[in-house]
Amino acid sequence: MPSNDLFTYSIALADDALILGQRLTEWVSNAPTLEEELALANVALDHIGRARMFYGHAGQLVDDGRSEDDLAFGRDCREFTNLLINELPRGDFAFTMVRQFFVDAFNVPFLTALIQSSEPTLAAIGAKAVKESTYHLRRSRDWMLRLGDGSAESHSRTQRAIDELWGYTPELFEAFAAEDRLAEAGLAPDRGALKSQWRNTVDATFAEATLRCPTAAWSVRGGRGGVHTEHLGHLLAQMQYLQRTYPGQQW
């Protein structure tokens, strides 16, 4: 049933955006410069805004009375379907920017393709979000250059971050069953087909930044099935605590 598939799909995209947004908010009052405080907060706000749009859409699809907040604060860890790369702790600034770069380099072609969806709300969200992600990618790509080709310390921290994150990137290109059905029906992009464009962006950027793509064969996945890293539980425990402690209230 397309409606259930669309629901599952929207929730997955919402979870991706919310969990990444939540990680970005952890930089508030911790950024390396005031200018970066503002810049990182903007990226976080964009992702949180995107999450709200996808949750809102999902809520309307099933019409079971659940709001964006019910979906964000009322589901437990095993019901979250974000990709694992989004839930990893923020690490140092190099780790955050490498993760952001990997996600941005995916989001730009993904959202560009989402605009072609025959589902009008998804297409509209894609159109709005691609402008944001285009700017995000410009920023994160520039940071790859500065960090990779800056100081010896920045180079080694960044290379370490790349090596730690690499195995989480294959999941970006793996569709789940509902997503495959939607793609066939022209409602969702073909995620796997985006890999070569992503790889081109990454390779070109890393080459210019004097950084190295790892050749290691390990990979971790499971987010779409609710099988997460141990990090997500702690993130949700913090994020959901008020709603769990005072259930059913207005805020």
Q: How far apart are CA 193 and CA 174, in angstroms?
A: 10
In the bound state with other proteins, the residue whose beta carbon lies nearer, of 186 and 241, is 241
Q: To the nearest whole angstrom, how small is the minimum distance from the Cβ of residue 78 to other proteins?
A: 21
CA dihedral 142, 127, 80, 102 (to 10 degrees): -20
In the bound state with other proteins, the residue whose beta carbon lies nearer, of 48 and 62, is 48
In the bound state with other proteins, the residue whose beta carbon lies nearer, of 120 and 247, is 247
In the bound state with other proteins, the residue whose beta carbon lies nearer, of 74 and 170, is 74
Q: Which two three-digit tokens encode residue 215?
A: 């050749």
Q: How far apart are CA 27 and CA 41, in angstroms?
A: 8
Q: To the nearest whole angstrom, how small is the minimum distance from the Cβ of residue 69 to other proteins?
A: 5
Number of H helices, E strands in the chain: 11, 0
**Helix, strand or coil for residue 173?**
helix
Q: Which residues here bind other proteins, judged by CB under 8 A?
A: 18, 22, 25-26, 28-39, 41-42, 44-45, 48-49, 51-52, 55, 68-69, 72-73, 92-93, 135, 138-139, 142, 145-147, 149-151, 153-154, 157, 238-239, 241-243, 246, 249-251
Q: To the nearest whole angstrom, how small is the minimum distance from the Cβ of residue 219 to other proteins?
A: 29
Beta strands in 7-128 (DSSP E): none
Q: How far apart are CA 168 and CA 179, in angstroms?
A: 19
In the bound state with other proteins, the residue whose beta carbon lies nearer, of 197 and 229, is 229
Phi-psi region of 210 (alpha: psi -120 to 50; beta: other; left: phi over 0): left
Q: To the nearest whole angstrom, how small is the minimum distance from the Cβ of residue 67 to other proteins?
A: 9
Q: To the nearest whole angstrom, how small is the minimum distance from the Cβ of residue 41 to other proteins?
A: 4
